Structure 1
């Protein structure tokens, strides 16, 4: 197998790199995402090839993860699904069933963003998965607010080159983009459902965060389009939920700097300069605009822009073992890196023995500046759509999400109100016609990392098809 050059980037760095790479070209455009184009695009190769899957589910079952706590009461699986046998392109997954009534609960797919970052390293090991990694980098502790309490959760490392996923064709890493990622993810799902046929008719949800604001809607629209072909596997898509989601460049950039100013991280003068010289309507950003934007970043100082109130990771800070899911540890990414690079862990996961990294340095080819037209199509399809936001994130802040959604001009069905969990305000929610916007109080960019209990309340409500509790 061939792996891309791995850099030291993380999910946050990757999104920042994308933003900066096109800061001088924010002219709004939409790549073609019509049903006819999907079915005729060679990257979507209809009908999707299904490889032999007999016996693969049993072979993928994890007997035990190294260092896992006692009393694990659910099934775990991990392995590879080939999406292009000619190119030797194969995607890695980690799947955890629910401890209670797994045969009745829905199937939920989680995708991390980047672009090019690991859903195993972030989603499973730092956010919503059943375990977190202790500071020794060798043992695990239980996440009592894991989302597999309410669903059977599938984590996919996509595109190829991310995490344990790989391709035998080096050029695949130079030709990665939104469409190829959607096509491979869809092909993965069709084959995975053959491997796990008991989930074929299960209610299905796609969730994710950050640049998955692209991945999730694009995959959902691909599923809806493909479902209209009777000789293709029909996937019972019920809804999508995207957190701190990058969905529209112009409104998202405006939202970042308004957030910095309203949270006392930028001066009045800098904010005035940004608003004067940055034209978010046309996407015409002058040299003076870039000057004030750079100044805005400098004024914010050395803090974690993905949670402006969170501590930074200092290796000298003493850590407790076992860890606590209720206490955010800013060094948790280091522990995950150590754990997933242990040979015995990779063996238990049925992964290729390699140097695992949280993100890969892909050459990203296609990335539309706005996903709003696809979201309009998803609204028209009738599936449930939630956009949620940790309100302490400065990279894709709640202001960005509000500006993006406001451009859709959707009528309000349920007015803004505080929602509760454990007798405290968990956040705020407003329901529009066809879309729900929700905040999670006290959370940063990776919502379940900072507020796991509130995140579980939120996703439980989403899966039940009702708004979170108002008291």
Structure 2
């Protein structure tokens, strides 16, 4: 799971909520009249968000039903691009967990335009918001995450990777009915951590379904940050990184290397292996595994105890508490803000009287996750063959999905190198290192933890811009 940025008054622009209807170009499938579509959009238009800074872009929030029979509905928050929204691409951002909120993390703490203040009440403007470059769509998925829900109890017992991909796919098509001008827009999917599985799986599903012209989504590429990719390589990278960064002893690392077969279905049946890995996790409880060199949150002792390393060794799932960097207590602030009656009312979640209990991560979903794909590398190969743009990046101070895990995973693809390892720059400083392969680009962010945009906001926005343009970041000062 997955945030404070220094704000600048230069971007404190006058609020202009354009309530007038915009001319809408409707795709041939799922046509709605311009008047009806405008009414649907205006119903979700956010106009009275408490303590919102003044901005001149519109944003929308609300529900999209993905299954009428079971009453499944996913909550979204959509920010138009700061300028020229009709000319800029659409980007879907997903956080992982599984069970964590893309609104609470991505939108609120990382790349959205509004960052919750330390009082859990105010909002501050993020001068490095990604909606400077794109129309940004944040989704709380699957049901049970954040404000998303199902009226059918059994749905919560069947949550898994495939379930999530299918519901997210249904969400997109139904969301396009609300916003039909985006149906043919250049579309990208981005995310981090366990969304390292969500994003390729969704991209693969879109690619397969695009054979039907009536279902076509103009997918151009995917962007993945510190992504869980392949369980075996992820585990190997985690323990090697812990050892190489002096978190565990030589003896513990040697035991793991000699007794653990992470490619085996019976990895944890070996007691020596299991106990040695437990020792790695025990040491990581002393610090923030998501950001090795920053402080932990001590503001609320009960909260801090609940935010220790959470791990399910059998499935390699781990709750991605994405905090660190500027302020390690950001999760608390988000929880305070999104449980305010006036906030939920403004976001069209409730009437302000019957509150929904919003949490940044749902541990019941995490613990009950029923199906997880071992590796998305085969999907990578399919997307590479389809000529989609694939960029992967790693904050190099993350211990949970460390740079070593990602390098091991990508190495196993056996891709040809087209541009060799070199530094990339932002504002005349080394942002990290980058290497380009046939069909894939990999980059590091120097000094960044698990949620890179928290630690390196300016660099992240510059990198995101390069990704959208399909151009390499600067390789000289």
Question: What band does the TM-score fall into relative to the shorter chain?
Answer: 0.7 to 0.9
Q: Which residue of 2 aligns with 1:394?
A: 399
Corresponding position: 1:239 with 2:221: yes
| Structure 2 residue corresponding to 1:98, chosen from 75, 81, 93 | 81
Q: Distance in 2 between matches of 1:402 and 1:441?
A: 15
Q: Which residue of 2 aligns with 1:216?
A: 199
1:301-450, aligned counterparts within 5 Å?
A: 302-315=286-299, 328-352=326-350, 353-360=355-362, 361-362=364-365, 363-450=368-455
Q: 1:51 to 1:165 in 2, by over 3 A?
A: farther
Gaps of 5+ in 1: 1-9, 12-47, 318-324
Corresponding position: 1:122 with 2:105: yes
CA drift of 1:182 comes to 0.7
Larger CA deviation: 339-348 vs 259-268: 259-268
Q: Contact conserved, 1:50 with 1:190, CA < 8 A, in 2?
A: no
Q: How does the TM-score come out when normalised to structure 2? A: 0.84
CA drift of 1:168 comes to 0.4
CA drift of 1:292 comes to 1.4
1:155-304, aligned counterparts within 5 Å?
A: 155-232=138-215, 234-282=216-264, 284-285=266-267, 286-300=270-284, 302-304=286-288
Q: Distance in 2 between matches of 1:284 and 1:192?
A: 42
Corresponding position: 1:134 with 2:151: no
Q: Contact conserved, 1:382 with 1:434, CA < 8 A, in 2?
A: yes
Question: Residue 87 of structure 2: SS of its match in structure 1?
Answer: coil
Q: Contact conserved, 2:424 with 2:433, CA < 8 A, in 1?
A: yes
CA drift of 1:67 comes to 0.9
Q: Distance in 1 between matches of 2:282 and 2:356?
A: 38
Question: Residue 279 of structure 1: SS of its match in structure 2?
Answer: coil
CA drift of 1:298 comes to 2.8
Q: 1:244 to 1:51 in 2, by over 3 A?
A: farther
- Aligned-pair Cα RMSD in Å: 2.0
Question: Residue 142 of structure 2: SS of its match in structure 1?
Answer: coil
Q: Which residue of 1 aligns with 2:307?
A: none
CA drift of 1:454 comes to 1.1
Q: Which residue of 1 aligns with 2:13?
A: none
CA drift of 1:72 comes to 1.1
CA drift of 1:281 comes to 4.4
Number of paired residues? 417
CA drift of 1:290 comes to 1.1
Q: Contact conserved, 1:417 with 1:470, CA < 8 A, in 2?
A: yes
